[in-house]
Chains A and B, each alone.
Chain A
Amino acid sequence: MAEKLKLEMVTPHKLVLSEEVDEITAPGAIGEFGVLPGHTPMLTTLKVGELTYRQGNQVKHVAVNWGYVEVEDDNVTVLVETAEMADKIDLERARAALSRAENALKTLSPDDKQFKIMEAALTRALMRIQIATRHS
């Protein structure tokens, strides 16, 4: 068995997971990237998206919000504002958030301060719905 990666995922509210994994795929700011054991030290920002990790034959998916990933000596630290396992996403809530964001965007102009916030909310909700429906 090859070496393993130690994955730690932390949000401001709690330590989401801390596990030994074989492979990680994450949505980086300039494109998706994969991490395998022996990766060079790296620090990157994440965008809203889906983070996938593999333990043996098991593949798990997590919906992550905007954050950071640090890779150092096979320790992967993921700092995100929110993280939800694919099987724990509340579809109802995500849909509600989606329609809320859509309605808000209709009334706002792109120059508004609120516009960017709602746009981000929209992306987040869409991503959660996508991930939840794809993996359930």
Chain B
Amino acid sequence: MANLKDIKKRISSVKSTQQITKAMKMVAAAKLRRAQDAVVAARPYADKLHDMLSSLALREDANAHPLLQNRGTGRALVVLMTADRGLCGGFNANVNKMTERFVRDNAEGYELIDILIIGRKGKEYLKRRDGMNIIKVHENIAGSINYATAALIGAEVVEKYVSGDYDAVYLVFNAFQSAISQEATLVKLLPVTPKEVEESVHVAEYLYEPSRGEVLKQLLPKHIEVQIFRALLESVASEHGARMSSMDSASKNASEMIGKLTLQYNRARQAAITKELMEIISGAEAIK
């Protein structure tokens, strides 16, 4: 039987762990709300831009702009978004594994697949794997996402694509579904494939200023920036959601553990008392 003092020590250590996980959960919940608001706020812009792009690209020749051209399978770039910190369940592992699998599965289809990582956890995982060419790592940007950050990364990606360094760009991130569910997602960023829209929706012919080609030329890079921005926001919201639920279950496990240990402690205490009583009684008996 474990000794009383040991059990007591364990109970207090589990209790302090629980305090930490509870605090982390609260922090994640508060951050989640903010991140969630940001995701919701960014949606109209992304949707509107997407509508515009779709209606434009539909009437435009596919070769009108380098970002629309499908250059086949040469070199590919994967942009991976992870968190900088752990303790958030399968959040990082899911996207990391997805990236690794994608690279392995498509190793033959492409001449070369490079990886651009956003977030420390992705770097830590992939740098220990074979055959992963990490070209760049952005760390510590998840805490303060603004449009300018996304625009910089977007411009970088577009430049690499236009200059012919890469012939396809993929984006791997956790899509935010709800506070308790995230889904690792892989989307093709470049070449841009506009979603089909029904022609009948656009009855009237548009007037373009300065010209249709010019508008398209400016709209496409913007589209990439917005996609990255949106993915970043979703990734951050997902991270907080994942951390909140994993810390919640950690706290629950801790209470369960405390309950078990307390029971054990009380049993041990009672056993000790019983033993002592027996000793006293038998001692008294012996004296008679």
Query: Which A residues contact B (CB, under 8 angstroms)?
Result: 8, 10-15, 28-30, 33, 40-45, 68, 70, 72, 77, 79, 81
* Chain A residues, CB < 8 A from B210: 29-30, 44-45
Which residue of A has the minimal Cβ distance to B150? A12
What is the CA–CA distance of A128 and B85 in the complex, to the nearest angstrom? 39
Contact A43:B41 (CB < 8 A) given known A30-B209, A68-B52, A79-B49: no
Q: B44: which of A10, A33, A68 is its contact (CB, 8 Å)?
A: A10
B229 within 8 A of A: yes
Whether A72 lies near B204 (C-beta < 8 A) is yes
Contact A40:B207 (CB < 8 A) given known A10-B45, A13-B41, A45-B218: yes
B146-168 CB mask vs A (1 if < 8 Å, else 0) is 01001000000000000000000
Contact A10:B206 (CB < 8 A) given known A44-B215, A45-B215, A81-B147: no
Q: B208: which of A11, A14, A44 is its contact (CB, 8 Å)?
A: A44
Contact A10:B208 (CB < 8 A) given known A44-B215, A45-B214, A45-B218: no
Which residue of B has the minimal Cβ distance to A73? B204
Q: Is the interface of A mostly helix, strand, loop or mixed?
A: strand
Whether B208 lies near A43 (C-beta < 8 A) is yes
How many of chain B's residues have a CB under 8 angstroms from any CB in A? 25
* Chain B residues, CB < 8 A from A11: 45
Query: Which B residues contact A (CB, under 8 angstroms)?
Result: 38, 41-42, 44-46, 48-49, 52, 56, 147, 150, 204-210, 214-215, 218-219, 226, 229
* Chain A residues, CB < 8 A from B208: 42-44
Whether B204 lies near A40 (C-beta < 8 A) is yes
What is the CA–CA distance of A33 and B44 in the complex, to the nearest angstrom? 25
Whether B52 lies near A79 (C-beta < 8 A) is yes
Contact A79:B207 (CB < 8 A) given known A12-B226, A70-B52: no
Whether A15 lies near B215 (C-beta < 8 A) is no
What is the CA–CA distance of A52 and B219 in the complex, to the nearest angstrom? 23
What is the CA–CA distance of A30 and B206 in the complex, to the nearest angstrom? 17
What is the CA–CA distance of A13 and B48 in the complex, to the nearest angstrom? 13
* Chain A residues, CB < 8 A from B215: 43-45, 68
What is the CA–CA distance of A85 and B219 in the complex, to the nearest angstrom? 25
Which residue of B has the minimal Cβ distance to A78? B48
